[in-house]
Amino acid sequence: MTTLRPFRCEDMFHFNNVNLDPLTETYGLSFYLQYLAHWPEYFQVAESSSGVIMGYIMGKAEGHGDNWHGHVTALTVAPEYRRLGLAKQLMAILEDISEKKRCYFVDLFVRVSNLVAITMYKKLGYIVYRTVLQYYSGDPDEDAYDMRKALSRDTQQKSVIPLTHPVRPEDIE
């Protein structure tokens, strides 16, 4: 029993139990505020009946022509609320809004070592479109998979024909 509602600024004071997980990035304040200002409809929170933030999703829509697509910037669920199908619900909202905006596809980046996440996205219908070398900076840098799912506007499913070769971060439009 999850309340799904828009993210509010004050949620940033209450999302430690989500963000202190090792695989969740915590960004600077301006990053969250930019998303709240530009794409508030994509910024949704799942809250439990006891008022604890269970997880949230951040996204945007960008690109020109048939590259107009929805993008998952961040999707995270607190460890104690995993395996409840919450990520699926949050992704469904993002995909629904992307459909409403007439996007051709949805994409996201995920660490190649994050098997749990990759499996989950595959179950939701995403394929690995291409590998982006050293997308994640760190010690050492790590490659990312760019995973995609075609939406109804892409009738020929052109957006999900995988590339045969990896790309570098600079090559991403």
Partner 1 sequence: MAGRTHAEDCVIERRLRPIYEWLDSGVNKKAVQEADKVLRKQPNLHCARVLKGLALLRMGKEEECLALVGQVVKEGPTDETTLQALTICYREMHQPEQICRVYEVAVKGEPGNEELLSHLFMSYVRVGDYKNQQQTAMKLYKLRPKNPYYFWAVMSHVMQAHKSVDPKGKEVSLLLAERMVNNFVKNSKIEAEAEVMTYLHILETQGKYEEALAVLDGPLASKVVHQPENFLSLHRGKYHMCLGQWAAAAAVYRDLIHREPDNWQHYVEYIRSVIHLTTTTTTTTTTAAEDPLVEASQFLSGVRQRAVEENSKDRGPLLGLLQLARALREAGKEDKIPQMCGDPADLLLTYIEVYGDKMCCFGDIVNFLPLIDEERVSGLLERVRNLYRVTSAGVPVDVEAVYRDLCWHQLRRALGQQEGLTAGQHQSFANSLVNLYTNTQNLAANMADTDIRPEDAYLILAAHSYIKAIQLTSPPSTSPPPPANPGEGGAGWG
Q: Using CB under 8 A, which residues numbered 46 to 65 contact partner 1?
A: 47-50, 52, 54
State in angstroms the smallest separation of the CB of 146 from partner 1.
Answer: 22
**From 64-72, 85-93, 155-163, 165-173, span contacting partner 1 (CB under 8 A):** 85-93
CA distance 69 to 90: 17
Q: Which is nearer to partner 1, 71 or 130 (CB)?
A: 71
Q: What is the closest distance, in whole angstroms, from the C-beta atom of residue 49 to partner 1 in the complex?
A: 5
Q: Measured from the CB atom, is 37 or 133 closer to partner 1?
A: 37
Q: Which amino acid is at 151?
A: L
Instruction: Check if the beta carbon of residue 64 is closer than 8 Å to that of residue 26.
Output: no
Q: How far is the CB of 92 from partner 1 (least distance, A)?
A: 10
Which of 89, 112, 131, 143 lies at the binding interface for partner 1 (CB under 8 A)? 89
Q: Tokens representing 147?
A: 């995973």
> In the stretch 5-24, what mask flags binding to partner 1 with x, by CB under 8 A?
x---------------xxx-
* Closest of 155, 72, 66 to residue 108, by C-alpha: 72
Q: Which long-range contacts (CB under 8 A, 24 or more apart) does 55-58 make?
A: 55/18, 55/81, 55/86, 55/87, 55/90, 56/7, 56/11, 56/15, 56/18, 56/90, 57/90, 57/91, 57/93, 57/94, 58/7, 58/32
Beta bridge pairs of residue 142: 136
Q: Is 141 near partner 1 (CB under 8 A)?
A: no
Determine the interface stretch with partner 1 among 27-35, 63-71, 75-83, 138-146 (rule: CB under 8 A).
75-83
- Please select the residue that binds partner 1; options are 16, 62, 85, 157, rule is CB under 8 A: 85
* Rounded alpha-carbon distances, angstroms, from residue 118 to 5, 21, 49, 94: 26, 17, 29, 18
| Chain contacts with partner 1 (rule: CB under 8 A) | 1-5, 21-23, 41, 44, 47-50, 52, 54, 79-85, 89, 93, 96-97, 100-101, 116
